């Protein structure tokens, strides 16, 4: 029924099956939308946020999706600015994933601010002393850039491409994509960094506070670095999950391997810098504020030293060493382990820098304040995941997201078609496949 | 925020922050305007060729 919209040369499941899948995920989406409406109409009392937790699950989700969405800006930088042509086979998907991540981040923020109708205040009445102002500016602008990067893919839909204006518009946008990609990289660098900077400048919270250079604490650079390092791993992870679901090879190995190799070296350099930063913080910065390292990791039910070990050793060094070695990258299981650990690692880092910061007592009479999200917070955090799955499913079905898909997955002719062309094939059947 | 708003102050913070925002928006705006105008011209040329 919708075959006229499906890209040429590729096979898709029947429409009923597709609609059934969208419907199933749509139920989860509606659950999230219901929780979102509760938060908007009844207020933030629907959450478990309190005076300890002004930043809670939403801000962690926000920082996490922005970090893993970093694959879009970094892959775009490598493809359009550094000219890594192998990545042209995965850049569309990286952009789509980035688009989903950033639109999700904006959606979460729209819920978190409580009164979305006043969202424009941050632009018009900007507090220029706040790192979050820079985040809001760069996030919104970069979402605009991602929309511009995603638009040519939409315009390549078989039916839309027939309209001459849209055909030329998509072509022209491709031509100057390097300008948009460079702008996106510039914006990403600053908002990823400023999100880290927010934690690093909290001089009243020694668990987060870091020294730095000029106005930027070290966390500014570590956040940008970790997003550029782990974002591509998320792109590879989603690509591999898509390949498993569709039971097709969608991206050539050379593109995946190049991205994995670059990501591996980025993770290794990042995690060394993170180790040095942690060492200096534990031995110099925190003691200068009257704290020992173990005070941040004891006397509570959740945050033990395990979280530091998990973040740096297990989810940092292990994926880095797997991805920088050729043997590791050639081993499918090794790549799966590495990319999953890297994604968990960056999400864990964001959790620690948002939520553990809030939990640690800072006064002598204070206590550890643990927090459990309400179901409304959980539902609105799962909402973007459902939205992402739906957008990926629709894009995959109707847009040429993977340029090599048709070549790598040739469609077998139907039995009646094969029978029709059999006579003309007969003389060649005596030949070997190579000769034929 | 623009310099003609009452809360504007001519200092480093406002100039850098708002200047950066306008700079990025200008690049995005000019880029898209160029693409749209060129697409309209290209499409009209193509249509003209078909008419002849």
**Over the stretch A33-56, which tens digit does the pLDDT of each residue have?**
999 999 999 999 999 999 899 889
Q: Using 50, 70 and 90 to split pLDDT, how confident is the model at B51?
A: low
Measured at the alpha carbon of residue A13, what is the angle toward residues A9 and A16, in degrees to the nearest 5? Answer: 135
Quick one: pLDDT at residue A418? 55
Q: What is the pLDDT of residue A429?
A: 45
Look at residue A434 and tell me if it is in a domain: no
Are the beta carbons of A101 and A72 closer than 8 angstroms?
Answer: yes
pLDDT for the residue numbered A32: 97
Chain B contact for A148 (CB, 8 A cutoff):
yes
Q: A341 lies in a domain?
A: yes
Mean pLDDT over A264-278 rounds to 97
CA A117, A147, A172 angle in degrees (round to 5)?
Answer: 140
Q: Cα distance from B3 to chain A (closest Cα, Å)? A: 11
If we measure between CA atoms, which residue out of A179, A263, A203, A261 comes closest to residue A228?
Answer: A263
What's the pLDDT score for residue B10? Answer: 92
- Taking contacts as CB-CB distances below 8 angstroms, the residues of chain A near B25 are 141
Long-range contact set of residues B2-10: C-beta below 8 Å, sequence gap at least 24: B5/A124, B7/A125
A216 secondary structure, DSSP code: E
Q: Cα–Cα distance between A420 and A418 in angstroms, integer?
A: 5
Listed in sequence order, the residues at least 6 apart from A389 whose beta carbon sits closer than 8 Å to its beta carbon are A25
Q: Is residue A252 part of a domain?
A: yes
Which one has a higher pLDDT value, A409 or A306? A306
pTM of the predicted model as reported, rounded to 2 decimal places: 0.90
Asked if residue A183 lies in contact with residue A161, where contact means CB atoms within 8 angstroms, the answer is no
Would you say residue A308 lies in a domain? yes
* Chain B residues near residue A145 by CB distance under 8 angstroms: 28
Which residue(s) pair with A217 in the sheet? Answer: A212
| pLDDT above 80: residue B45 | yes
Q: Which of B18, B28, B35 sits opposite A172 (nearest CB)?
A: B35
The pLDDT value given to residue A59: 93
Write down the pLDDT at residue B17. Answer: 85
CATH number at residue A161: 1.20.1630.10
Residues on chain A touching B35 (C-beta within 8 angstroms): 169, 172-173, 176
Q: Quick one: chain A helix, strand, coil %, rounded to 5?
A: 75, 0, 25
A366 falls within a domain: yes
Contact A66/B at CB under 8 A = no
For residue A419, pLDDT over 90 is answered with no
CA distance A352 to A158: 46
Cβ atoms of A196 and A350 within 8 Å: the answer is no
Where does residue A172 rank: exposed (0-12), middle (13-18), buried (19+ CB within 10 A)?
A: buried
Is the per-residue pLDDT at B8 higher than 60?
yes
The per-residue pLDDT for B7 is 87
pLDDT at A358: 93
For residue A421, tell me if it sits in a domain. no
Among A325, A232, A308, which residue's Cα sits nearest to residue A271? A308
A215: pLDDT confidence band, cut at 50, 70 and 90?
confident
Q: Which B-chain residues 3-42 have CB contacts (< 8 A) with chain A?
A: 5, 7, 13-14, 16-18, 20-21, 24-25, 27-28, 31-32, 34-36, 38-40, 42
Mean pLDDT of chain A: 91
Q: In chain A, how many domains are there?
A: 1
Asked if residue A187 has pLDDT above 90, the reply is no
List of chain A residues whose C-beta atoms are within 8 Å of the C-beta of residue B49: none
Interface of A with B in 158-217 (CB under 8 A): 164-169, 171-173, 176, 179-180, 183, 186-187, 190
Q: Which residue of A has its CA nearest to B45?
A: A164
- The answer as to whether A5 is a domain residue is no
Please tell me the predicted confidence (pLDDT) of residue A185: 87
pLDDT at A427: 43
Radius of gyration of chain A (CA): 24
> In this structure, are residues A270 and A226 in contact, taking their beta carbons and an 8 Å threshold?
yes
User: Nearest residue of A to residue B10 by CA position?
Assistant: A128
Which segments of chain B are extended strands (E)?
none
Which residues is A216 bridged to in the sheet?
A213
Question: What DSSP string describes A111-143?
Answer: HHTS-GGGTTHHHHT--TT-HHHHHHHHHHHHH
Interface test with B, best of A165, A184, A190, A215 (most B CBs within 10 A): A165
Report the b/e string of A4-29 with b at 16+ CB within 10 A. Answer: eebbeebebeeeeebeeeeeebbebb
At B50 the pLDDT is: 57
Q: Which residues of B touch A178 (CB under 8 A)?
A: none
Which residues span the domain enclosing A233?
A: 13-407
Question: Mutate which of B27, B34, B39 to disrupt the A interface (most A C-beta within 10 Å)?
Answer: B39
Q: Is A364 helix (H, G, I), strand (E, B) or coil?
A: coil
B18 Cα to chain A: minimum distance (Å) = 8
- In terms of Cβ atoms closer than 10 Å to its own Cβ (0-12, 13-18, 19+), residue A417 is exposed
DSSP one-letter code for A211: -
User: What pLDDT does A413 receive?
Assistant: 66
Q: List A212's β-bridge partners, or say none.
A: A217
Residue A430's pLDDT is what?
42
Question: What percentage of chain A exceeds 90 in pLDDT?
Answer: 73
- pLDDT tops 90 at residue A421: no
Question: Which residue did the predictor score with more confidence, A275 or A190?
Answer: A275
Q: What is the pLDDT of residues B9-42, one digit of tens each?
A: 999 888 988 998 899 999 999 999 999 999 999 9
> Does A418 reside within a domain?
no
CB A71, CB A99: distance < 8 Å? no
CA distance B16 to chain A (A): 9
Q: Is B39's CB within 8 Å of A169's CB?
A: yes
Q: How far apart are CA A115 and CA A103, in angstroms?
A: 18
Where does the pLDDT of residue A431 fall: very low under 50, low under 70, confident under 90, or very high at 90 and above?
very low
User: Which ipTM was obtained for this model?
Assistant: 0.88
Summarised one tens digit per residue, pLDDT across range A330-388 is: 999 999 999 999 999 999 999 999 999 999 998 889 999 998 999 999 999 999 999 99
DSSP H or E segment with residue A217:
strand A216-217
Q: Which of A301, A260, A252, A240 is nearest to A406 (CA)?
A: A252
């Amino acid at each position: 029924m919708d075959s006229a919209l499906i890209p040429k040369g590729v096979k898709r499941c029947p429409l009923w099956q597709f609609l059934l899948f969208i419907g199933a995920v749509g139920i989860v989406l509606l659950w999230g939308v219901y929780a979102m409406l509760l938060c908007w109409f009844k207020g933030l009392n629907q959450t478990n946020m309190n005076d300890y937790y002004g930043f809670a699950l939403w801000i962690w989700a926000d920082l996490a999706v922005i970090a893993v969405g970093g694959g879009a800006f970094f892959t775009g930088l490598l493809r359009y600015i550094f000219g890594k042509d192998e990545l042209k086979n995965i850049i569309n998907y990286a952009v789509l994933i980035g688009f989903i991540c950033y639109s999700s981040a904006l959606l979460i923020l729209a819920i978190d601010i409580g009164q979305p109708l006043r969202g424009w205040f941050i632009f018009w009445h900007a507090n220029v002393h706040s790192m979050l102002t820079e985040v809001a500016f760069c996030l919104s602008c970069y979402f605009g850039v991602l929309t511009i990067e995603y638009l040519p893919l939409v315009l390549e839909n078989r039916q839309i491409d027939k309209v001459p204006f849209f055909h030329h518009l998509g072509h022209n946008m491709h031509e100057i994509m390097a300008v948009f990609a460079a702008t996106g990289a510039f914006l990403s660098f600053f908002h990823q960094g400023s999100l880290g900077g927010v934690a690093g400048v909290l001089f009243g919270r020694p668990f987060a506070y870091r020294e730095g250079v000029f106005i930027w604490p070290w966390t500014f650079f570590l956040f940008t670095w970790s997003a550029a390092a782990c974002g591509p791993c998320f792109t590879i992870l989603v690509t591999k999950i898509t390949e498993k679901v569709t039971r097709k090879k969608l991206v050539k190995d050379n593109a995946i391997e190049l991205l994995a190799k670059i990501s591996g070296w980025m993770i290794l350099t990042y995690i060394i810098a993170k180790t040095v930063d942690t060492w200096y913080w534990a031995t110099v910065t925190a003691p200068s504020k009257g704290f020992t390292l173990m005070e941040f990791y004891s006397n509570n039910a959740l945050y033990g030293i395990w979280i530091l070990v998990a973040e740096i050793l297990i989810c940092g060094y292990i994926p880095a060493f797997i991805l920088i070695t050729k043997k590791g990258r050639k081993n499918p299981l090794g790549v799966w382990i590495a990319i999953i650990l890297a994604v968990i690692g960056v999400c864990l880092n964001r959790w620690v820098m948002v939520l553990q910061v809030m939990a640690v007592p800072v006064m002598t009479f204070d206590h550890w304040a643990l927090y459990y999200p309400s179901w409304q917070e959980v539902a609105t955090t799962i909402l973007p995941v459902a939205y992402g799955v739906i957008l990926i499913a629709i894009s995959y079905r109707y847009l040429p997201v993977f340029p090599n898909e048709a070549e790598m997955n040739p469609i077998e002719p139907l039995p009646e078609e094969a029978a029709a062309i059999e006579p003309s094939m007969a003389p060649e059947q005596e030949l070997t496949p190579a000769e034929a | 925020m623009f310099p003609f708003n009452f809360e504007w102050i001519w200092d480093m913070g406002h100039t850098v922050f708002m200047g950066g925002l306008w700079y990025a928006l200008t690049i995005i705006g000019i880029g898209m305007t160029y693409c749209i105008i060129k697409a309209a011209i290209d499409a009209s040329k193509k249509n003209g060729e078909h008419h002849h």
